[in-house]
Chains A and B, each alone.
Chain A
């Protein structure tokens, strides 16, 4: 009836519990699920550093909570996802990348010369729906790891029968700040599958969203802020991998990296971070079938990638 103009949305970064624009002032144009134009922030090196700082700051509190409490918070997040499943589902409909990555890191400089419009013209290819419901799987995966929070220690830790009068036991502790680099696809399931193992054991996370479909990650960030997830525990960046993987790799306050389905170059760059500060780097390569497979993606082996085993000795004698 009326020609009402809709309100379009700018998806911001989530850093330290606040939704912020990139400090660089850069944004990326894209389309949302309904084909409406939307804007995303293009995270910079400084945004990454800010996010890592926020994650570091939140680490003591998050890892210091009881496992039961972390479990309940992750379950709460799953509850919130279920409530907004339709919106998430619409956002995860696979599109050809609507954004174009800058070929080199020099893109930032050259962009100054360009007009403010940095993206290519929006292409609107026929949306391709996944052959599986990514949102349902993502919710169930989060619930699965909510369950792991207060169980994985009993499965991968234990008492050691040392040959002496000592109580000796080994139990895992979260390693610290984990950087998650989500795959392009599946954008939501991929992201959740990588953040959940880290969050459940007490790591705090900086996640770089799928480059091809970043909006589900932005929505997940909004859900975090209404699910008792403390500020800084999960930080979400959108932007270009080609620009950020190098900075991730050399950042000395990132303790671990969980990534999947990256191109060769990005994967190698992240792995080289082990040589910088002995980051625990895991770059997985998973097929669509494997993303769905709980034996592949809901195993405590993933949690083991982001924990340190601590052994405690104590004498026993009268």
Chain B
């Protein structure tokens, strides 16, 4: 390797003073005189050429995958049968396994099993229920490598994310909720021990972007409160949830407490309309969420929904710009942008816009896109062909609408598999579809603003309200913005943070109910 290749510290925009020496834009010095010409932004860029290429660092541990999978009903794995769906590795397009599609019979059996298990499970002393959840958490930690690899194979997310974020959070959710089992009466003041009642049988439908994590977010609080569960994974990512069922078996979780039915939308429809369910929980698109909300309202059963978003990420000129750029990156390119709370609308205060965009450009050049099984990969494979087509469609819409597309990441994408280079649009108008609609991919819409109130107004001008980001070094402004943003989660000087103890969920058409923390228990108890 040519170590002494071009190694160049390039200072753009000439010899302007450094940012810290530049006068503050809102300085109130009395003798300002004529309008002060703001110093041009100074952006340092380290260029190493190809001197420091990354060697491949593939995760090579083998994980066994069966040729086919059935459902997990009443503590037993069923045979796949003839009616199956292929689950594909989106990074290679190879078929990993065939997974059964649950029909009426399977859904009936699953709901019946959950109903039968319900009474005993709810009657178990909280401290004993807790022990099952603690055991599950421990086994997840012990089998975390296997689960992480499987998650990446089935879903396309970078191994470093499934290993360091998804699976640890899965274990965390079970561990955290285990502790609530015997403490529910403290979470609901005014009710005594034993007066906090579960709904009964919970039907849960989860998406493909965080397959096991979403399962944990749904199953753990439901079980902690004494409910039993019938859960349907997304059709493209069922493998890790089925692996979790092995853990349920290992730890001796009573039969029927958790049942898994696989399949696509038809199975979801059967499950959500089943007369035997007492509660419905769904994470996914707002369109489907609205249909389910209607079903639940007709049946008079409670429902929690965690739906779409078009979350604003607001950068003030007084923010630490380098940190903010990192926040933009993790806000929109984390998990290929398949994140319901992704910071997909970037609002930059005008004086900082050039600097932020230039730094974003530079930072994106070092994003590594490609094989998700490589431990250095930042952006992995798009989850499915369908999703890739949707993202590409939106990129085209953005260009047709007149916004400027930039895709500074120069990686050569693998020849096979579903990949999309991370990109952003400048020159975006508030009315553009790429600024209003959820794309669910690594596509960022950049806009600018002049005043905090303008930022608030535009940030809130969306039917969604899942999350928001604020970047400023002024605390009072930060809290004021946080208060005025109509979003369920506001990240200040950070983005995309998740924790079992922290409630997550949206305002407006991003859904109702919260998941995580003491507030997340509410969805799984009566009254």
Contacts and interface: CB of A to CB of B under 8 A. Distances in A.
A318 B179 contact: no
Nearest to A294: B182
A5 interface: no
Interface stretch (A55-63, A89-97, A112-120, A145-153): A145-153
Interface in B158-200: 172, 175-176, 178-183, 186-187, 193
B480 A67 contact: no
A314 B501 contact: no
Interface residues of A, number: 28
Contact of A75 (B134, B180, B482, B518): B134
A150 B182 contact: no
Contacts of B179: 71, 144, 146-151
Given A300-B186, A316-B483, A150 B501 contact: yes
Contacts of A298: 182
A157 to B, nearest CB: 11
A179 B500 CA distance: 32
Interface string B487-521: 00000000000001100000000000000011000
B173 to A, nearest CB: 11
Nearest to B193: A295
Nearest to B131: A143
Interface residues of B, number: 30
A155 B477 contact: no
Interface string A290-311: 0000110011100000000000
A147 B179 CA distance: 4
A140 B127 contact: yes
B476 A314 contact: yes
B479 A314 contact: yes
Nearest to B181: A147
Nearest to B519: A154
Interface of chain B, main secondary structure: helix
B475 interface: yes
B477 A147 contact: no
A314 B187 CA distance: 27
A60 B482 CA distance: 31
A150 B131 CA distance: 17
B476 A315 contact: yes
B172 A68 contact: yes
B459 to A, nearest CB: 14
A64 B180 CA distance: 23
Given A155-B187, A316-B480, A318-B453, A67 B175 contact: no
B479 A315 contact: yes
B201 interface: no
A175 B518 CA distance: 24
Given A148-B183, A300-B186, A318-B453, A68 B127 contact: no
A33 B193 CA distance: 38
B480 A143 contact: no
B452 interface: yes
B100 interface: no
B476 A317 contact: yes
Contacts of A295: 193
Q: Which of A146, A151, A295 has the most CB of B within 10 A?
A: A151
Contact of A144 (B182, B482, B518): B182
Given A71-B179, A72-B175, A155-B518, A318 B130 contact: no
17 contacts: A67-B501, A68-B172, A71-B175, A72-B175, A143-B134, A144-B179, A144-B183, A147-B130, A149-B179, A150-B179, A154-B518, A155-B518, A167-B479, A294-B182, A314-B475, A314-B476, A316-B480
Interface of B: 127, 130-131, 134, 172, 175-176, 178-183, 186-187, 193, 452-453, 475-477, 479-483, 500-501, 517-518
Given A151-B518, A155-B518, 4 more contacts: A147-B130, A150-B176, A151-B180, A154-B501
Give 9 nearest A-B pairs by CB, closest first: A147-B179, A316-B479, A316-B480, A315-B476, A154-B518, A167-B479, A318-B452, A317-B476, A155-B186
